[in-house]
Amino acid sequence: MTPLAYPFNRFTDLKLAQPYRHAQQAPGLLRIQMPIGAPAWLATRYDDVRLVLGDRRFSRSEAFRRDDSPRAFPRIAGGIVMMDPPQLTRIRSRAAQAFTRRRVEALRPHARDYAHQLIDRMLAAGPPADLVNDYALPLPLALICELLGVPVQDRDRFKVWNDSLLSTRPEDADQTQLHLGELAAYIKDLVAERRRAPRDDFMTALTQADEKGESLNEEQLLLLCIAILVAGYEGSASQIPNFIQVLLDNPAQWQQLKADPEQIPQAVEELLRYIPLASAAMFVHYALEDIQVGETLVRQGDAVFASIGAANHDPARFENPQALDLQRDASGHFGFGHGLHHCIGSALARVELQEALHALVVRLPSLQRCGDVQWKTATFFRGAHCLPVTWS
């Protein structure tokens, strides 16, 4: 079988590419060829993706021991997203102890107030506005910096660091390393400050020892903070305008939300299922032994990618998956991943997305696009770089 060239998704829309649907109709996993590295398998069905993401017989960290590791972008993603147990388990456990529901929900009033402040500014300036730079970017950035205890005057630096970490352009590699060093130094100073003067906040909770008297070292704290920054900022900043684009393309659903904003939490789950955020299945999983995945026997040492976007559109799991249905029970979607690498910041992201959408529905019900969308083209997440909007 000749491997198909991968990735499939385009950067200039939010649709699931047709080859994914063809793959779901064919037996077994799909053989693909990434731009870099050896051929690999691609899982597209819900049950197969669930297995690859959740089974400990697959390893992500093995990619660093391979010279021919397949990937879509020049550099292999690092940090906790590429770790395996037991190191991963320990870091995630510590994060869970700090990422309490109480602490996340305490940020909801801040999210709501800031969303309305941003809309106040848009209304005062008058239309048109750029929904990305005037709303979608500053809202989650403020929330994640509030969580980490970053002073207001330093928040623009965090945006620069985040954008650099997510760049996929080879020419940005040196700049990324420079910014990573700056971010590491900043986080190190934050940690030292919390250890000197503890507060009742998330960063202090991360630095404290667990019930066994163990605490994370500086490298582990840095990796965790980077993961939280990316998960709590970039994903939400991309999805807020994505949500609006999809809703404006489905006016009946938009009207439904305006008539009953209380549906927004359920609507957010369906939108997370419906929109394939990633430009590709980003993380390679190596089989540590022979594993049967659906109709394919994956041999020890084989590389497998798992497409979350395709799994969320599997008709065997979601009826009529190509349709946006805000009344759907979308529970079980993989919008935040699954298993060992389920998004650490999913609770925070839900707060951000729910409050961002609620404020727009209530304050700007006549919202509509008024110009060409400019798309991001050199990052892991798909979405608008600029989304001109107006209202009446």
**Residue 170 reports pLDDT greater than 70:** no
Across 234-262, average pLDDT: 96
Q: Which has the minimum average pLDDT: 160-169, 190-199, 304-313, 367-376?
A: 160-169
DSSP H stretches of helix in the chain: 18-25, 46-54, 87-98, 101-105, 108-125, 131, 138-148, 155-166, 173-196, 202-207, 218-229, 235-249, 251-259, 264-274, 308-311, 346-363
pLDDT grade, residue 213 (50/70/90)? low
Q: Tokens standing for 185?
A: 């130094």
pLDDT of residue 175: 84
**Residue 171 reports pLDDT greater than 80:** no
Q: Which has the minimum average pLDDT: 220-224, 275-279, 355-359?
A: 220-224
Instruction: Round the average pLDDT of the chain to a whole number and report it.
Output: 91
Across 269-281, average pLDDT: 95
Radius of gyration of the chain measured on its C-alpha atoms? 21
Catalytic residue among 231, 287, 349, 359: 231
**Residue 172 reports pLDDT greater than 90:** no
Q: Which has the minimum average pLDDT: 84-88, 231-235, 267-271?
A: 231-235
Give the residue among 309, 245, 307, 305 at the shortest CA–CA distance from 275.
Answer: 309
Across 52-79, average pLDDT: 86
Please tell me the chain's helix, strand, coil percentages from 3-state DSSP, rounded to the nearest 5: 55, 10, 35
Distances (CA, A) of 95 to 110, 220, 227, 277: 22, 11, 11, 24
DSSP class of 120:
H
Give the residue among 270, 272, 275, 244 at the shortest CA–CA distance from 364.
Answer: 244
pLDDT of residue 74: 62
Task: Please tell me the number of Cα atoms within 13 Å of 127 on its side-chain side.
Answer: 13
Give yes or no: 319 in active site.
Answer: no
DSSP class of 334:
-
Element (H, E) at 375: strand 374-375
Catalytic residue among 164, 167, 236, 307: 236
| Residue found by looking up tokens 């999805």 in the block | 239
Distances (CA, A) of 374 to 24, 44, 132, 353: 31, 29, 10, 21
Give yes or no: 352 in active site.
Answer: yes
Give yes or no: 278 in active site.
Answer: no
Q: Tokens standing for 99?
A: 């990422």
Reading phi first (left if > 0) and then psi (alpha if -120 to 50, else beta), residue 320 is in: left
Q: Determine the 3-state secondary structure of 151 from DSSP.
A: coil
Q: Which has the minimum average pLDDT: 47-61, 166-180, 265-279?
A: 166-180
**Residue 95 reports pLDDT greater than 90:** no
pLDDT of residue 153: 87
Q: What 3 state SS string does 174-185 have?
A: HHHHHHHHHHHH
CA distance 170 to 168: 6
Give the residue among 23, 56, 25 at the shortest CA–CA distance from 41.
Answer: 23
Catalytic residue among 62, 146, 234, 269: 234
pLDDT of residue 358: 99
Query: Following DSSP, what letter does each residue of 193-214 receive, concatenated?
Result: HHHHS--SSHHHHHHS--TTS-
CA distance 216 to 191: 11
Across 311-328, average pLDDT: 98
Catalytic residue among 343, 347, 349, 384: 343
Peptide bond into 315 cis (omega under 30): no
Catalytic residue among 72, 352, 355, 359: 352
pLDDT digits (tens, 9 = 90+) for 132-143: 999 999 999 999
Across 274-290, average pLDDT: 94
Report whether 290 contacts 57 (CB < 8 A). Answer: no
pLDDT of residue 315: 97
Report whether 383 contacts 122 (CB < 8 A). Answer: no
Element (H, E) at 153: none
Per CATH, the number for 4-390 is 1.10.630.10
Record the pTM. Answer: 0.94
Give the residue among 352, 281, 236, 230 at the shortest CA–CA distance from 32.
Answer: 281
**Residue 63 reports pLDDT greater than 70:** yes
Across 3-32, average pLDDT: 94
Give the residue among 377, 364, 139 at the shortest CA–CA distance from 235.
Answer: 139
Tell which wins on pLDDT, 113 or 212: 113
CA distance 283 to 341: 10
Report whether 143 contacts 114 (CB < 8 A). Answer: yes
Report whether 267 contacts 357 (CB < 8 A). Answer: yes
